[in-house]
Amino acid sequence: MASAAAKPDLTEARLATLNMPDGASEAREAALGRVRAMGLPTRRDEYWRYTDPASLTQANAPRAAVFAPPGEVPVFKYIDRLKVVFVDGVFSPEKSDDLTMAGLEIGRLSDALSKDIHWAREFYGTLETAGQDPVARPLAALNTAFATDGIVIRATGKAEKPVALIYLHSEERSDAILHHLVRVEPGAEVTVLEVGPAAARFNEVMEIDVARGGAFHHVRAQGRDHERRAVTHIFARVGEDALYKSFTTTANGVMTRNEHVIEIVGDNATAHVAGAALGDGANAPFHHDDTVFVTHDAVGCESRQVFKKVLRNGAEGVFQGKILVKSGAQKTDGYQISQALLLDGDSSFQAKPELEIYADDVICSHGSTTGAIDEEALFYLRSRGVATEQATDLLVLAFLAEAIEEISDEALRDDIRARLEEWLARRRND
């Protein structure tokens, strides 16, 4: 029973370092109640079996050096976007663009919760709360209780360009908690980009409500700082005829846990979530965990989970993915694939795919593979003059392609592919 006794200590030690900001105090107090009731996670929790949450729950952020390789092209640099910049989790008005765009209402969370923006105050924490069942996600509740800032977006039409959340990291022990709210009104459309490490340790929650006929696109490139740590939760509710698409690429990071909780509540909706991770344990350990929970609670909906990880030098990958089809959710088309390419014998991948189906007229499939580089393909490339390292990188990009293809916008897709190519080339030439 050591762990049961340790949990309150662990939780209170973390809570002692935090101050509850103003605004939405009811929601925040309720979230604090959830944190205390659940306790922060430990390795003994089933949901954290493959990922040790200790560095995410400890009282203060572990140190993380800032990684700023000279000459590296920032992700999304060539994309026309509205820039919203946070430095160590603090909004920077100087570095950010003017927060106005046709088709969008956009503002800071800290303003929205204290002002009279009804939808934001009423929405704050609701999907996080709903997402605590059937699996506890205490770090998300902690976020709702203590998030210092974030961005609040309401799409009322088709946004003219993407909103880019740019997370800079400057302090070696910065500890950031950001909470974003996105509401896509019927028929509206918005793309949200995220890039950067945000802090030495980053706890992020994004709650997204996509109403009937709306479309939400999300493309994220997590920071390249080797020692950074992040726990992110995206809670999405997808309405009738709505489209939800999210893609994340991760290169480097000593600890990353990305949770995705999607509830499809309207008929004929589509929800895709994808990830491409490049892990190299040579400079610092690399641990990357994708944990996804998709619930089908409507008729004729489609969901896809496509997760690819390339691991070398002792890098660790984890995938926990679930598709839950409720009893009324007929004509569901659910697909899930998680694959790891292990470039050496030191690296590891653990996958826990789950299907739970209570409807009888559905198509659901899942697959998980772990493999090495294709020696035949490698020799074919080498026989044409491409050296082993470069040939391997070509095959790595080919392996990630299915996940990258999930990005709908061609310019964004090309940008992500170009950055990945560049990161691989830098690694090869350094």
Positions in the binding site for another protein (CB under 8 A): 374-377, 379-388, 390-391, 394-395, 397-402
Closest separation in Å from C-beta 213 to another protein: 33
Q: List phi, psi (to 5°) of 348.
A: -145, 155
**Which lies closer to another protein via its Cβ, residue 211 or residue 395?**
395
Q: What is the dihedral of CA 6, 8, 10, 14, to 10 degrees?
A: 180
Taking the complex as a whole, the smallest distance from the CB of residue 337 to another protein amounts, in Å, to 14
Q: Which is nearer to another protein, 78 or 380 (CB)?
A: 380
- Which pair of tokens denotes residue 243? 């489209």
* Beta-carbon contacts of residue 406 (< 8 Å; ≥ 6 apart): 245, 247, 272, 274, 304, 306
Residue 389 CB, nearest distance to another protein (Å)? 10
Output 151 or 341, the one with its CB closest to another protein: 341
Name the minimum Å distance from CB 341 to another protein. Answer: 11
Q: Which two tokens stand for residue 355?
A: 């299907």
- Residue 402: CB minimum distance to another protein, A: 7
- Name 91's bridge partners: 86
- The H helix count followed by the E strand count for the chain is 10, 19
Beta bridge partners of 85: 166
Side chain identity at residue 280, one-letter code: D
- 118 vs 384 by CB, closer to another protein: 384
Q: Which is nearer to another protein, 68 or 387 (CB)?
A: 387
**Which of 171/402 has CB closer to another protein?**
402
Specify whether the CB–CB gap between 211 and 176 falls below 8 A.
Answer: no
What SS3 class is residue 313? Answer: coil
The contacts of residue 398 (CB under 8 Å, 6+ apart) are none
Asked if 183 contacts 209 with a C-beta cutoff of 8 angstroms, the reply is: yes
Q: How far is the CB of 303 from another protein (least distance, A)?
A: 23
**For another protein, which is the closer residue by CB, 358 or 379?**
379
SS3 state at 80:
coil
Cis? peptide before 93, omega within 30° of 0: no
| Least distance from another protein to the Cβ atom of residue 272, Å | 19
